[in-house]
Amino acid sequence: MKSDQVKIFCWFCWMMLLAGCASSLPAKNIPPSFVLQPVQETEISRYVRAHQPPGSDELSGFTLVQTGTDALAARLAMIDRAEASLDLQYYIYRGDVTGGLIAERLLSAADRGVRVRLLLDDIGSALRDFDVATLDHHPNIHVKLFNPLTLRGRISRYFSKLGEFGRINYRMHNKLMIVDGQLFITGGRNIGDEYFSLSTMDFQDIDIIGMGHITREVTRSFDDYWNANEAVPVSHMVRRPGPRAEQRLRGQLRAHRLRHQGSAYLQAVEESPFNRALRDDRIDWHWGEAEWISDPPTKADPGHATNQEPILARHLMRHVRSAEQELLLMSAYFIPGSRGEVFLIDMAEHGVDVRVLTNSLATTDVLAVHSAYASYRRPLLEGGVRLWELRRQAGEQERASAFAGESLASLHAKAFVFDRQKLFVGSVNLDPRSIVLNTEAGVLVHQPAMAESLVQLFEHWTSADFAYELTLDEQDRLRWRAGEEDWSSEPHATRLRRSAAWFLGWLPIEGQL
């Protein structure tokens, strides 16, 4: 072996050894941090009091947010109105247009004295370490990384992924923002253009804004994650930026915003239905009992008793089992597994109208997930479960992004409705990764009027303009129907995409999806 090859081989072995030795998280000796107690005379507190019905101290108020522009408008409005604290917890945070707008608003909030806590999943987040560390350099901004890689270099991080796979395979998939400890938004959206209708991949999603009694549970959940051993301050992982780094970052964010100022997209956000309703005090709040359902952060700790424990899933299953007439499931990734398949068929056989909306091969953003899901379609249909798959859109439908040219719609929502009496909106997909490997969270609301709104959205998304209904013909072959149109194979999926999905279907990876 030549000397250069020997050096490369030794370097490779050294990096793998480092990664293996660094499989545990660094020790941190820092005091815990908790949500700031709500201040009575803030804009948010006055708003909550003004909209809470008399005698409803034990109830919570909610409103749904459906479109991408409304979702961004809601987040920007909440950040701008914060006076005491902002707590954010996200799986993905991209440094694109919308991510830059939110980052600049967070800096502005910190400048006016708001304490900002930002908890990011380390693998999911797409921000550069240096930019995250620069945000953390602000005295009022504190950033932590959940279950981070210990080797941070551009190349060494790949060795870290290999050597630490047994630990980093567990991710924090939660999505949450809390303002002044009294108002929060959660659901399926991460931070990035594709979640706010500004990308060629236009994710169709649902958020829910909540206030009232449930915020105590929500803030407690955030504190549990923030103070968990798996949440490591970025300052423990990344070198401290120089004194001018923050100034440069501010300049980049300002230039970033100015490049898009006055664009059709930002005008649409400013004039979105949510902003108009907020200005005119016309947001429709639904009040009722609610539960915050969350996996504990220790689900991601291989050495903890709750590792891989499907705590949230078990809680949700109690509500699924309670459905007597109708169960509606919207899940971007749907892999029921053999037990889930039997369970859903049993419900259908006992008279429950079980309906599922997920992605088609043409709209999924993860081919391997579709490959695993595909084998469950025929037995579910034979058992009486009804299935729809989202149609590929090319800008002609009302939901596709009008701000990024032609776009491909993809379902990203995770929402369920039980007997039109209660609903769940959160981060959890119906797949093994969400159930076993990821931490997840969401809110379950006992509110018939709100459940009916989600039913209407389900029926809209499963109409012929937006989805294919799957059926079986006389020869027990799959058919896809949309209005008068009919297909005998995966519609609008290229031959390459079909071949790739077929190949992935042979791999024994369902438990990781």
Active site residue 161: no
Active site residue 422: no
CB count within 10 Å of CB 20 equals: 14
Give the closest residue to 271 by CA, choosing from 93, 408, 263: 263
Give the closest residue to 343 by CA, choosing from 321, 376, 326, 325: 321
Q: End-to-end CA distance of the chain: give it in Å, rounded.
A: 40
361 φ, ψ to 5°? -60, -35
Active site residue 319: no
Q: How far apart are CA 223 and CA 175, in angstroms?
A: 14
Active site residue 7: no
Q: How far apart are CA 193 and CA 366, in angstroms?
A: 18
Catalytic residue among 161, 419, 460, 465: 419
Q: Which residue has the tokens 């409304």?
A: 70
Contacting residues for 445 by C-beta, under 8 A, at least 6 apart: 60, 62, 208, 286, 288, 289, 290, 422, 423, 424, 425, 451
Give the closest residue to 201 by CA, choosing from 90, 274, 96: 96
Catalytic residue among 180, 193, 207, 295: 180
Active site residue 175: yes
Cα radius of gyration rounded to whole Å, the chain: 23
Catalytic residue among 142, 370, 412, 422: 412
Catalytic residue among 137, 144, 173, 370: 173
The length of the chain in residues reads 513
Catalytic residue among 142, 370, 414, 422: 414
Catalytic residue among 137, 142, 175, 370: 175
In the 3-class helix/strand/coil scheme, how is 314-351 assigned residue by residue? HHHHHHHHHCCCEEEEEECCECCHHHHHHHHHHHHHCC
Active site residue 492: no
In the 3-class helix/strand/coil scheme, how is 477-499 assigned residue by residue? CEEEEECCEEECCCCCCCHHHHH
Active site residues: 173, 175, 180, 412, 414, 419
